[in-house]
């Protein structure tokens, strides 16, 4: 079956190599970064799916922005909570800064709501909404209350909620 032209980006076709990762597909683009589903292979058969968050090229030239991106990676890497993705790696490949993070398998809420509408459901179940909001609140409470090893508050504020 012909699937049409391969999905491309300015620099290539998927899958493609990005440092020690293989970018499998583009997931999203935001105001500061592109996000990709990726795969990592390593020593002795080590394999792991992950997400690569890569700084947008026009922002990679802004030293203040790069520092903010790296600070985000450094801070989030200190967090360990079931409702916060884990950071595995931070680095740069040929001047492109990236964060490698946990890939959470499953549908996002937008896709779920689209499917529900298509199937004729008019409302998102309240119990599901409360479960989601409760999880988000638990993750945020953990991050906001996080302290360093000396007990000093980290004063984390999530800007994307």
Q: How far apart are CA 21 and CA 54, in angstroms?
A: 12
Residue 25, classed as helix, strand or coil, is strand
Residue 107, classed as helix, strand or coil, is coil
| Residue 19 main-chain phi, psi, to 5 deg | 60, -130
Residue 154, classed as helix, strand or coil, is coil
Annotation says 160 is catalytic: yes
Phi-psi map region of 4: left, alpha, beta (phi>0 left; psi -120 to 50 alpha): left
- Any idea which residues carry the catalytic annotation? 160
């Amino acid at each position: 079956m012909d699937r049409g032209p391969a999905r491309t980006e300015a620099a290539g076709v998927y899958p493609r190599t990005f440092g020690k990762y293989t970018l499998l597909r583009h997931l999203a683009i935001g105001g500061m970064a592109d996000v990709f589903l990726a795969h990592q292979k390593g020593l002795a058969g080590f394999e792991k799916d992950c997400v690569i968050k890569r700084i947008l090229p026009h922002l990679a030239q802004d030293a203040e922005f790069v520092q903010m991106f790296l600070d985000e990676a450094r801070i989030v890497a200190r967090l360990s909570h079931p409702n916060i993705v884990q950071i595995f790696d931070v680095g740069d490949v040929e001047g492109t800064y990236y964060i490698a993070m946990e890939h959470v398998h499953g549908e996002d809420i937008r896709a779920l709501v689209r499917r529900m509408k298509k199937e004729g459901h008019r409302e998102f179940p309240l119990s599901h909404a409360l479960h989601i909001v409760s999880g988000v609140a638990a993750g945020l409470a953990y991050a906001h209350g996080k302290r360093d090893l000396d007990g000093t508050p980290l004063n984390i504020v999530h800007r994307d909620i």
